[in-house]
Amino acid sequence: MLEIKYTIDDITTLMYVDQVHIFSNFNKQWVTAASLKTGDKIIARNGSQASILRIVEVDTRKPNAELVAKLRDVKLSHNHHFFVTQQPQSALEVSCEQPPNDPLELIPYQLANKPSYLPNGEPTGHHSGPWVAAKYVDEVGNEFIGWGRANDRHCAEDAAVIDLKDKVADVSLLTQQNVTISHAYIRKYSKRGRLINTMSPCQYCRDNYGMALNDSRVGNSNVVKPGRDHLPIA
Ligand SMILES: [Zn+2]
């Protein structure tokens, strides 16, 4: 087993993989974990590049207490699922492993798709979301984009629209017709590692944003929140 320390998107963290695990390097060539060297670059599923800082062989037959704790920590032990590999992906991981093509959808996906913890267990401060982005296109084709995450006061859809309104001079122009609201993306950890899931809009957001929503599914969360927003129908 190898302990690989790497940096990605300004974050330094660890992953644990077998020597035979396959990565894709920055030339899109398949490389085994055993052949990686300090300074090599490998590709994450979201397209980001990770730089290898250090590789240490660890003996999992005689692990010390610290290593046992790290190996049991799904946040570290499953970090390699974040990277492009040759092995087929499990059904569980498929849905959100591929980054969305739509640039608007990519914003909340990438906000959700960041590590939560540093190698020492300290939080990175990257909130898991759910994250949503909202776009307004004005009459002459200028694009304005806002984004935000859910909290106790509002849903992520509300947060994105509130941020969008901060960036637009005349908020009275915004309607359900000229605003597009992305799906919601949330980071989760499971036995299979870090996953990005989508959440369908709640009934309030469905009522408040209607045709502006990209996600046509109806969620079953109907939590009352005081800071909700809405968009009028033109
Ligand atoms: Zn909602």
Q: What is the pLDDT along the chain (234 residues), one digit of tens a residue?
A: 899 999 998 889 998 888 888 899 988 888 999 999 999 999 988 788 999 999 999 887 777 888 878 877 766 766 777 888 875 443 333 345 578 889 999 999 999 988 887 777 788 889 999 999 999 999 899 999 999 999 989 999 999 999 999 999 999 999 999 999 999 999 887 766 678 888 889 889 999 999 999 998 877 667 888 999 999 998
d(C-alpha 25, C-alpha 63), whole Å: 29
The residue type of 128 is S
Tens of pLDDT, residues 87-99: 544 333 334 557 8
Q: State whether 77 and 147 are in the same domain.
A: no
Secondary structure percentages of the chain, helix, strand, coil, to 5: 25, 30, 45
Specify the DSSP element, H or E, that contains 93. Answer: helix 91-97
**Rounded to the nearest whole angstrom, what is the distance from the C-alpha of residue 219 to the centroid of ligand 1?**
8
Q: State whether 24 and 101 are in the same domain.
A: no
**Rounded to the nearest whole angstrom, what is the distance from the C-alpha of residue 167 to the centroid of ligand 1?**
22
Q: Which residues contact 86 (CB under 8 A, 6 or more apart)?
A: 22, 30
Q: State whether 111 and 51 are in the same domain.
A: no
d(C-alpha 115, C-alpha 129), whole Å: 12
Q: Hey, what's the torsion of the CAs at 48, 1, 95, 41, to 10 degrees?
A: 10
**Rounded to the nearest whole angstrom, what is the distance from the C-alpha of residue 155 to the centroid of ligand 1?**
5
Q: Kind of pairing, strands 184-190 and 193-199?
A: antiparallel
Give one DSSP letter per residue of 118-185, joined into a string.
Answer: -TTS-B-------EEEEEEE-TT--EEEEEEE--SS--HHHHHHHHHHHH-S-GGG--TTTEEEPPEE
Please calculate the CA angle 150-152-156 and round it to the nearest 5 degrees: 15
d(C-alpha 219, C-alpha 201), whole Å: 5
Q: State whether 132 and 58 are in the same domain.
A: no
- What the block records as the tokens of 178 is 């000229």
Share of the chain above pLDDT 90, in %: 48
Q: State whether 133 and 54 are in the same domain.
A: no
Q: State whether 43 and 83 are in the same domain.
A: yes
**Rounded to the nearest whole angstrom, what is the distance from the C-alpha of residue 150 to the centroid of ligand 1?**
8
Q: Which domain holds residue 31?
A: 2-87
In a domain, 229, yes or no: no
In a domain, 219, yes or no: no
